Amino acid sequence: MAGDYQDYVGGTYQAMEIFNFIVDRDASLDPSKTTTYPGIAWTRISKFLPWMKMGDRQGYMIFSGTGKKLKGGYAAMPDGIRKEIETNWPIYKSAPPTDDTRPNETSWTDFKKILEKKKAAAAAKATTGAAGK
C-alpha cells in the first residue's frame, strides 16, 4: 500500500515477526510418529496498522500470541471457542487444503479492497448526484 495510501501507512513501514515452535524432542525424532503437537509463540513488532490511519506518526505496536496443536483436533477446543466459530466464523472449522491455490490474503490486502470499494462507491455516488442535477 503506497502512493495514494500515505495517510494510512506513511512513507516507510517496518515490522518484525518472531515465531517460536516448541515440540517434544523424542516425538519429533520418532519416525513412527505421523504428527507432533507443538506449542507456538508469535510476536510482532510493527508500526501502526494501515486502518489506524496514523501515517508516519511515531510509535510501535507489540502483538503477542501463543497456541498449541490439540490432540483431538477441532473437537478438543474449549466449548466457548467452538461455539463462537460455529456461530460466527464457520470457515474456520477446518484448515484449508494443502493444495489450496487461492492467492495469499493479508489484513493489508483486505483493507486495500475495502478502501477501493469505498472509493468506487463515492465515485458512483458523485456521478449519480451530478447526473441528477
* Structural domain spans, the chain: 7-69
Q: How many residues does the chain have?
A: 133
Measure the N-to-C terminal CA separation of the chain; round to a whole number of Å.
36
pTM of the model: 0.68
- Per-residue model confidence as pLDDT tens for the chain (133 residues): 667 777 777 777 788 999 999 999 998 899 998 888 899 999 999 988 888 888 888 899 999 999 999 999 899 999 999 999 999 999 999 888 999 998 888 888 898 899 999 999 999 988 887 665 5
**Distance between CA atoms of 46 and 63, rounded to whole angstroms?**
9
Would you say 37 and 71 are in contact if contact means Cβ atoms under 8 Å apart? yes
**Distance between CA atoms of 88 and 91, rounded to whole angstroms?**
9
**Distance between CA atoms of 8 and 53, rounded to whole angstroms?**
4
In the chain, % helix, strand, coil (3-state, to 5) comes to 45, 20, 40
| Residue 9 CA to its chain's centroid (Å) | 17
| 50 dihedral zone (left: phi>0; alpha: psi -120 to 50; beta) | alpha
| 39 dihedral zone (left: phi>0; alpha: psi -120 to 50; beta) | beta
Neighbouring C-beta atoms of residue 54, cutoff 10 Å = 17
